Chains A and B, each alone.
Chain A
Amino acid sequence: GAVVSQHPSRVICKSGTSVKIECRSLDFQATTMFWYRQFPKKSLMLMATSNEGSKATYEQGVEKDKFLINHASLTLSTLTVTSAHPEDSSFYICSASEVLASTDTQYFGPGTRLTVL
């Protein structure tokens, strides 16, 4: 159980285009999903917390107008990188929290590797 999928797994795009990444919890409902970014040989950095039916909460330094997050259902959250530039090239990973009474374990999707040319 607790499987999270992400789509696409890899994207190569031209500078200036927008890229949408989907994150789905396959066998559980996730009221909260998280979006992370990881640069090579660096730790995962939380970008934003996505709550179903409400606006996402962005971490300091993350532009909300550049990284649009929509959490329309209990099993789907999307991250759109708008007007992508080469510096946005990174590994984007989502996680979903199966909020039970006694655990806040997060389960991670397989990640999306974005390359902006």
Chain B
Amino acid sequence: RKEVEQDPGPFNVPEGATVAFNCTYSNSASQSFFWYRQDCRKEPKLLMSVYSSGNEDGRFTAQLNRASQYISLLIRDSKLSDSATYLCVVNGGGSNYKLTFGKGTLLTVNP
């Protein structure tokens, strides 16, 4: 099983659509979880951290299920500017701050 596995994508959706990304991780000791977005030929940028209770930031909602080792990201009312690759990122657990990145899921929002 890959350390961090994401939907392979790509996703093509119209503006205004709701889109969901799924991610699973294999290291049960992981304690920190993130979604990053990466634009073409740019560095990853933190979109949001993911907490056990679930968290929301505007149109973005992240969920974490530790028992299933599953993370999700929901984007509502998608905008053209949301087009990017979304990376599921997990840390090593304990004092291990090393991050493991999923391969990413490419989202294209069409007018």
Contacts and interface: CB of A to CB of B under 8 A. Distances in A.
Interface of A: 32, 34, 42-46, 49, 91, 93, 95, 97, 99, 103-111, 113
A111 B44 CA distance: 9
B32 interface: yes
Given A97-B97, A104-B91, A105-B34, A110 B42 contact: yes
Interface stretch (B14-22, B56-64, B101-109): B101-109
B104 to A, nearest CB: 6
Contact of A46 (B32, B34, B49, B99): B99
A35 to B, nearest CB: 12
Interface of B: 32, 34, 41-46, 49, 87, 91, 97-104
Given A49-B98, A105-B34, A42 B103 contact: yes
B97 A108 contact: no
B43 A93 contact: yes
Contact of A108 (B32, B44, B103): B44
A43 B98 contact: no
B99 A106 contact: yes
Nearest to B36: A108
